Amino acid sequence: MTGPLDGVLVVDLTRALAGPHAGMMLGDLGARVIKVENPGSGDDTRGWGPPFVQPDSGDRESTYFLSTNRNKESVTLDLKDSGDKELLRELLRRADVLLENFRPGTLARLGFGTEVLEQLNPRLVTLAISGFGHDGPEGGRAGYDQIAQGEAGLMSLTGSGPDDPQRVGVPIGDLLAGMYGAYGVLAALLERERTGRGQVIRTSLLAAVVGVHAFQGTAWTVAGQVGRAQGNHHPSIAPYGLFHCKGGSVQLSCGSESLWRKLCAEFDLDPEAPGMATNGERVGNRGQVVELLEGTFADIPPEELLARLAAAGIPAGKVRSIDEVYTWDQTLSQGLLIDVEHATLGRLQLPGPPLRFFAPGPDGETETTRRDHAAPPVLGSSNEAIRAWLAGDQRP
């Protein structure tokens, strides 16, 4: 149960979130991930807080750092020091994957440009993540998630209305760039099996956010329509969104005409009422649809309403707080909360990997998902072991 990437060595030069998230994904899949950090301070996210664990002690750890660095080792190297540069070269000679999210051109100025890396290790797969791309008129811009969310159009689609742009509540541009990056690494490793050579994969926060525009992208490129924020209701399907009821709210989705008719039958509504008969009509009269349903639900508490919707076969759900999510039986059943032993903080619970693996067999499936996860590393905790390994004094 070590994972499908067992035996793959990843050297992770990244910091903050996009690159470390890609590295964590590869580590979750069984790769050995060596995180290279600056001596003394380490990854920027080690200082991002509060909240911190043990905030008043020398062993203080940022929960931000803990969120994106499980299943890694930490070694500190000063990339301006000639001796440490040589250690990095030796790591790269042995590595399968290099991750970096410096501003474009920085790695080359440090002496590790594409040509140098190819000479060191022709089989090396390199993932480079930037803010806005490695070339183009604004390719050198620094990239931070909220800036990218705004520049890439996501904030214009998020919020209560067109005059209320909002960022997504997690750094989704960073996370998506990491996910796309890990996806690219896996494809390049697969191609290396055929060609014997590595290659460079480049993505950016801009590319990652544009990559998930989905129907909002084609609404513009094909139909010439500019999407705008519409709060908690879908721009192309109605009813689909959040509806207030007695003492709370529920979310429901009628993604087909049959579901609309089931909803109307359950609550004694006329599915053929003027302006309601088709999805297109309902989208055009969304305010009227919302008013009708919220009036219908006004005397029904959330749990009762959810039960009736479930009985009628209408997809529906509640809006859970984060603490409710992590105590929900369904979350726990999917392995989305894991226990790890941290070197200084002791036993911790962390959000778990979102993938599970199963091997089919004559007697049914056997789960092969990795179970033995390592806690995020203390800064430089693998310094001695990795230096000894590079010197040939011990096995990895």
Per-residue pLDDT averaged across 214-219, rounded? 96
3-state secondary structure of 341: strand
Please write the tens of the pLDDT for every residue from 329-340. Answer: 999 999 999 999
Q: Tell me the CATH architecture of domain 240-317.
A: 2-Layer Sandwich (3.30)
d(CA 87, CA 272): 73
Percent of the chain with pLDDT strictly greater than 90: 93
Please write the tens of the pLDDT for every residue from 258-296. Answer: 999 999 999 999 999 999 999 999 999 999 999 999 999
What is the reported pLDDT for 269? 97
Q: 99 pairs with which residues across the strands?
A: 12, 127
Q: Domain 9-214+369-390 in CATH: superfamily?
A: Crotonobetainyl-coa:carnitine coa-transferase; domain 1 (3.40.50.10540)
| Band (314; pLDDT cuts 50, 70, 90) | very high
Share the mean pLDDT of the chain. Answer: 95
What is the reported pLDDT for 205? 98
Active site residues: 174
pLDDT at 1 over 70: no
What is the reported pLDDT for 58? 76
- φ, ψ at 14 (rounded to 5°): -85, 165
Any idea where the domains of the chain sit in the sequence? 9-214+369-390, 240-317
Residues 6+ apart with CB under 8 A from 159: 165, 166, 229, 231
Whole-prediction pTM: 0.93
CA-wise closest residue to 152 among 171, 128, 135:
171
